[in-house]
Structure 1
């Protein structure tokens, strides 16, 4: 089987989804080849950039090789201003390549002006004319060579982000034209969200042979004609270019669970899609990490990235008791365990550099309306305790939920200002109503961004707190407060939380 991670996404760590699938497939004694077409495709475009006429583009093109090397070196991350310039210059070269084809292309995103990844008709049109895609010269050469070499029985494409959809369907269209008898399987996070929408009707029949929701290990093994064993399999990164990612050493991504162990927050996509919580036992997680560290040699990992929606308290306790010998970061829920100073100090000694925390709001009434199961007194204590232990925080705030208005948003702002010394990074988001949310039918709704593949629905805010008003508040009040502005200025451009731990 050939498993493909398509463009366009951040190329700073190997793709965990196809590595997990490869572990299961190889664990059943079946052959499997991995292709990170995202990293390869970006490097392909950067290798022959268009000549920019302006001073910035000329400088960026001239320094491209040095900047790419610097992004792979720890030294750059000791100088935030030099880091920002290197990222901006590399991104500039990719942007110029996109502009030459009338599209928006960055190190983290891809958007064609006249194509929406929310409309199946647009994606099918892309599949019909794959040669129009900017990545076509790359995959039209790379895929036939790889297929001739490995002779796969199936091709699986892992589609996780909207930015990957146009290139995914261009690749699928090319493959179907060139190899009509070779089945194409489509899975990944975005496909799972599509399939779990109650209104889903497959528009891709004839192009995509199988669409898979959720974990695809069993389905792929059975499609390859083998019996499936439920025995745990360690992910496999063998065959990926582990030394080439844009990070100061190998970032090793690992998911110790799927779903969310809390799973009670209103409007959460995990809840709306009905994704179950499945956890790998902590003792198995520790064994996996040890095995992966050995398997990826000589590329010694610089950082372990837990992909869980929330690293469980049980796993954090296991990591504190038996450190993995590797710095790590990930999402966590705010719990009393993180208010324990002794525990947080042991967590820091285990290698924990940074925790991402979904605070969402600094107003208690909003937290209660969202059923977050948290109170501000605990949140304040956790922020203080983590700061004292030397663990950085990446705080996520969500504005525009149905229970919030300008008054509650200003209380969130006041909360952040009061605790700015304990907040290392901030992520600001405007609320989107999941189309499958149980609460959506009770809101006055309208089409959101348009398209039969949309995951969200617009709604009339019960307090008149519109998206326009929210953005005005964020731009004119929230971001302009000097204490908040200093936090926002720390955020690594483009790579954001994926690189943040290297600056802690």
Structure 2
């Protein structure tokens, strides 16, 4: 089996999806080859940049190798201003190279002019003309060499983000043309969302042999004609370029669960898609971490769970893994215990990402968050006192929110700004499969038959234009909030934030 992580996404840590699949496949005694085409492809473009013409582009090209080396060194992260410049210069090189091909390209994104990743017609067009893709010179040479070397009986591609869609289909088209007898399997987070859309009608028949939703271990192993064992397998990162990622040491991603254990938040994509919650027992998680730590000596452990379960947090606090770690967590009474927060910090917890969403209690109640502001205040203060950084996520424009409620969120954040390390601001999108969508939906959002969201009539008349105006002209301009936002690492955001804590 050959498993591929395609461009374009942040190249700061190895792809967890194909590593998890590789662990299961290898655990069944089957050979498996991993290809991080995203990292390799980005480095290929950086090694072959378009020549700069303006002063900034010339400087960025001249300092390219130094900036790549700096992003992999701890020294750079001691100087935020130098870090910002290095990231901006690297990104400038990719931007200029992308412009030569009429596309928007960055260290985290890819968008072709005149091609929508939300349109199956456009993606099929990418498959029919793979040579038009900017990564074609890379994968047209890399894939045949790797296929010749590994002799796979099946190829799987993990498609998680819209920014990966165009290149994924260009690679699929190339493979289908040159290796017509080799089965092609497509899975990943974005594909799961497509397949669980009630109106899904596979438009890719003839190009893709199998589309898989959710965790794909069992389906892949059965495709390989092997009896499946449900015994949990440790993810396997062997074969990935673990020394090459854009971070000051190896960030090791690990998912201790899929789905969400709360699964009650209104408008949540996990709930709308009906993704079940599946948890690896905490004892198994600790054993996996010990194995991975011994094998790879990571600098940081990144939990990918939608929310790290209280049981796992307690296990980590009781048996520290000997690694710094971070991840998403729900704001629960467990974190209202200051002694537990100190134990969590001693376990290696460097940062927690928290979905606060709103600083207005009525909005939280309407979203079924299961949290109250008094608890949130206590948790924020406890985490700050324990030395655990917070990356707070806010969501504006939900159906129960208007300008008045948004201003209460502004007030809440400013009151507690000293306990908030980083902020992520987002404007609400209505998931197309949400049970609430039919009552307010109007039309497909951003167009395209693969759209995951629907436009809707806001019950309080608060339009997206007005929301963005509030964020840009009022929320972000508050001095306390502006200082928080300035701390956010550009482009890599939460993936690098823990290194600044």
TM-score (norm: length of structure 1)? 0.99
Question: 1:16-51, CA deviations, whole angstroms, 9 ceiling, x for partnerless residues?
Answer: 000000000000000100000000000000001111
| 1:394 has 2:369 as partner | no
Contact 2:441/2:454 (8 A) holds in 1: no
| Structure 1 partner of 2:379 | 382
Residues 155-202 of structure 1, C-alpha deviation per residue, up to 9 Å, x if partnerless? Answer: 000000000000000000000000000010000000000000000000
**Given the alignment of the two structures, is residue 357 of structure 1 paired with residue 377 of structure 2, yes or no?**
no
Q: Encode CA deviations 1:405-437: one digit per residue, 9 max, x unaligned.
A: 000000000000000000000000000000000
1:12 matched residue in structure 2: 12
* Residue aligned with 1:156, SS: strand
- The DSSP-based 3-state class of the residue aligned with 2:4 is strand
Say which SS state the counterpart of residue 266 (structure 2) adopts: coil
2:443, 2:456 within 8 Å by CA — same for their partners in 1?
Answer: yes
Where does 1:146-295 land on structure 2 (aligned, <5 Å)?
Answer: 146-295=146-295
8 Å contact kept, 2:351–2:391: yes
Q: Could you say which residue in structure 2 is the equivalent of 1:469? A: 466
Question: Once the two structures are superposed, what CA deviation does each residue of 1:210-238 show, in whole Å capped at 9, x if it has no partner?
Answer: 00000100111111111101011000000
- Structure 1 residue 112 corresponds to structure 2 residue 109: no
Aligned equivalents of 2:237, 2:311: Cα separation in 1 = 26
Give the structure 2 partner of residue 144 of structure 1.
Answer: 144
Q: Structure 1 stretches of 5 or more lacking a match?
A: none
Contact kept in structure 1, 2:4 and 2:157, CA below 8 Å: yes
Name the CA distance, whole Å, in 2 between partners of 1:349 and 1:449: 45
User: How far off is 1:444 after superposition?
Assistant: 4.0
Matched, 1:457 2:462: no
Cα offset, 1:293, TM superposition: 1.2
Aligned residue in 2 for 1:333: 330
How many equivalent pairs are there? 501
Q: Secondary structure at the match of 1:395?
A: strand
- Structure 1: how far apart are the matches of 2:445 and 2:500? 37
Aligned pairs for 1:60-71 within 5 A = 60-71=60-71
User: Of 402, 408, 411, which residue of structure 2 is paired with 1:411?
Assistant: 408
User: Which secondary structure does the structure 1 equivalent of 2:69 belong to?
Assistant: helix
Structure 1 residue 483 displacement after superposition: 0.3
Contact kept in structure 1, 2:126 and 2:173, CA below 8 Å? yes
- Could you tell me which residue of structure 2 aligns to residue 24 of structure 1? 24
Match of 2:492 in 1: 495
Counterparts of 1:444 and 1:330 in 2: how far apart (Å)? 33
**Residue pair 2:326, 2:349 contacting (<8 A) in 1 also:** yes
Look up the match of 1:348.
345
2:439 to 436, 439, 442: 442
The alpha-carbon deviation at position 440 of structure 1 amounts to 0.5
Decide which of 314, 320, 323 is 1:323's aligned counterpart.
320
SS in 2 for 1:413: helix
Please state whether the residue corresponding to 2:476 is helix, strand or coil: helix
Residue 447 (structure 1) shift: 2.2
Q: Which whole-Å CA distance do the structure 2 matches of 1:32 and 1:45 have between them?
A: 27
Distance 2:214 2:116 in 1: 24
1: CA distance, partners of 2:72 / 2:444: 43
CA RMSD in angstroms comes to 0.5
In the alignment, the residues of structure 2 paired with residue 236 and residue 443 of structure 1 have an alpha-carbon distance, to the nearest angstrom, of 45
Cα distance in 2 between the residues matched to 1:75 and 1:366: 43
* Partner Cα distance (2:191, 2:444) in 1: 20
Contact 2:7 2:39 (C-alpha < 8 Å) held by counterparts: yes
Give 1:301's match in structure 2, choosing from 290, 293, 298: 298
Cα contact 2:129–2:170 (8 A) shared by 1: yes
TM-score computed with the length of structure 2 as normaliser: 1.00
Once residues 333 and 141 of structure 1 are traced to their aligned partners in structure 2, the CA distance between those partners, rounded to angstroms, is: 45
For residue 202 of structure 1, give the secondary structure of its aligned residue in structure 2: coil
Give the C-alpha shift of residue 295 in structure 1.
2.0
Runs of at least 5 residues in structure 2 that lack an aligned partner in the other structure = none
Query: After the TM superposition, which parts of structure 1 deviate over 2 Å for at least 4 consecutive aligned residues?
Result: none
Q: How many angstroms apart in 1 are the aligned matches of 2:89 and 2:246?
A: 14
SS at match of 2:193: helix
